[in-house]
Amino acid sequence: MIVLSAEFVKSATEPEGYPAAGPAEVAFCGRSNVGKSSCLNSLSNRKALARVSGTPGRTRLINFFDLKVAEKTRTREWEIRFADLPGYGFAAGPRDDRKEWKKMIDRYLVERNELRALVVLVDGEIGPQPNDTEMLDWARNLGRKIIVAATKLDRIAKTRRAAQLDKISVQLGVPGVIGFSAKEHFGVEELWRALLDA
């Protein structure tokens, strides 16, 4: 996949601030330290489309990005909008702030008509955590298309990766978990295909 353009659109906390209707949207969510920004940067083939922070929980807004991509043969092109949701889990900040972030995510997932799929990122090294399961259950209840990708697989020996993906798939009850590594840049094409299929 060739990324023709990728740009930040705007940040928002509530529907009134969302971008006007445009390309189909795919939202990305995961625990605060799952490597979401690194994943977005790998997909966009940009070093700093999404800000990577050393402190988990820095994203406190929904950040929207517009991308245009094409097949390597340039026979087909797509426009797609990414919505980067605040991380869940142990996001930094007071408890009241965390409650507000949860309300912000819930409102977006329920009300956003342009949303076509939700990418749930789980840590491929440590496996799914309880709040990953909660997020998936919530998304299933909404009837949204769900894509699960396991990040940071470069931290696991290559001979163990397939078994780890199978284990995560069974734990979450989701077939076809995509193995992903921003560091080694694998899983990018597979995730793009899943996004465009959605």
User: For residue 100, what pLDDT band results from cuts at 50, 70 and 90?
Assistant: confident
Q: φ and ψ at 53, to 5 degrees?
A: -110, 145
Q: Give residue 28's domain range.
A: 2-197
**pLDDT attached to residue 54:** 46
Q: Which CATH number do you get for residue 81?
A: 3.40.50.300
pLDDT tens digits, 35-93? 898 999 999 988 878 765 444 444 578 999 999 999 888 889 999 999 999 887 654 55
User: For residue 95, what pLDDT band results from cuts at 50, 70 and 90?
Assistant: low
Out of 81-95, 117-131, 141-155, pick the least confident: 81-95
Q: Is the pTM of this model over 0.85?
A: yes
**pLDDT attached to residue 91:** 47
Task: Indicate whether 154 pLDDT > 60.
Answer: yes
Task: Indicate whether 19 pLDDT > 90.
Answer: yes
Q: In total, how many domains does the chain have?
A: 1
**pLDDT attached to residue 20:** 93
What are the start-end ranges of the H helices in the chain? 36-44, 95-111, 130-142, 158-172, 188-197
Contact 180, 151 (CB under 8 A): yes
Task: For residue 47, give Cα distances in angstroms to 37, 75, 89, 176.
Answer: 10, 26, 25, 28
pLDDT tens digits, 164-182? 999 999 999 999 999 999 9
**pLDDT attached to residue 94:** 59
